[in-house]
């Protein structure tokens, strides 16, 4: 499942190619990929054709494109095209002459613009993702709805409950610390709770906890402020490094809008390194069962009980 860096790579790529362009045509090749649009294919197409993409916005792992109709420069009271990538969804910019991808589900034609690719294609092998048109609502905190080139005061309705992520300029550490202390759970569970902090999935939680020297089961109600600050800084570091590498790609299903895979998986310190030596102390990394998946941890660097960092 794509995590924050992967979705942000896609967002940045899309913003470059689609912002300010008008939708001239929509073709739904597989209605299953717009199943979340309750009013069906004709309404989906009708909402998009003639609309201009104002920006590409992200909150955590949620991605959407605010839309405006002809003669308007605002999305209020507005709509947006929401993209849910799922496990294998891809948003690709392609020239019309490029042959259709095997798992192409939706084709969106865009107005011509300085030789830019003319089509936005949604490709999805496993059909867990999809596209749908949604409403924009005022943000609960009154600030920008999410990360975009031009911060808008609205947010996609489905993302309104999602907390800000560590890379968001409006992220509040105090709010995060208050929520995490109130959770009374293990630290990694809190990091994966999108109502506490967004964008952090299994890979980057393991990486951030290793970098911060904190065990994934550390009780949140006993978490010291300094430890919480350390794990947030670690999360920022590992996700910024992943962004610089184009995201993490363990297979060909995650690609950016140009179809290229990321390389961040080549520099992971703990995730997926079970039985290999810790890069910091040499102890073998272990993989433990966690929430129907796994946690990778160094039991020397990341002790279960509170201890001073070495």
Give the active site residues: 2-3, 61, 293
With tokens 């184009």, the residue in question is 246
Residue 192 contacts residue 202 (beta carbons within 8 Å): yes
Give the three-class secondary structure for 114. coil
Pairing of strands 79-84, 130-138: antiparallel
Pairing of strands 154-156, 130-138: antiparallel
- Please give the backbone phi and psi of residue 138, each rounded to the nearest 5 degrees, phi first: -60, 145
């Amino acid at each position: 499942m794509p995590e924050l860096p992967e979705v942000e790579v896609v967002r940045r790529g899309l913003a470059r190619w689609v912002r300010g362009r008008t939708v001239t045509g929509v073709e739904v090749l597989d209605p299953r990929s717009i199943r979340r649009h309750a009013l069906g294919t004709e309404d989906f197409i009708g909402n998009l054709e003639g609309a201009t993409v104002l920006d590409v916005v992200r909150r955590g792992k949620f991605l959407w494109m605010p839309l405006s109709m002809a003669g308007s420069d605002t999305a209020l009271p507005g709509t947006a095209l929401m993209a849910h990538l799922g496990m294998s969804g891809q948003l690709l910019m392609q020239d019309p002459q490029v042959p259709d991808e095997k798992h192409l589900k939706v084709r969106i034609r865009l107005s011509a613009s300085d030789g830019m690719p003319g089509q936005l294609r949604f490709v999805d092998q496993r059909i867990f993702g999809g596209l749908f048109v949604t409403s924009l609502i005022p943000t609960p905190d009154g600030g920008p709805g999410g990360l975009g080139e031009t911060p808008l005061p609205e947010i996609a309705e489905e993302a309104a409950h999602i907390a800000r992520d560590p890379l968001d300029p409006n992220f509040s550490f105090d709010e995060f610390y208050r929520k995490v202390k109130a959770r009374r759970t293990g630290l990694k569970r809190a990091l994966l709770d999108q109502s506490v902090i967004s964008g952090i999935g299994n890979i980057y939680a393991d990486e951030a906890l290793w970098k911060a020297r904190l065990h994934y089961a550390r009780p949140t109600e006993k978490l010291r402020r300094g430890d919480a600050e350390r794990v947030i800084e670690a999360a920022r570091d590992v996700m910024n490094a992943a962004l610089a590498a184009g995201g993490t790609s363990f297979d060909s299903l995650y690609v950016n809008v140009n179809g290229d895979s990321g390389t961040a998986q080549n520099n992971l310190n703990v995730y997926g390194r079970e039985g290999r030596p810790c890069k910091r102390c040499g102890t073998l990394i272990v993989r433990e069962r966690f929430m129907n998946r796994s946690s990778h941890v160094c039991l020397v660097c990341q002790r279960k009980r509170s201890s001073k960092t070495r």
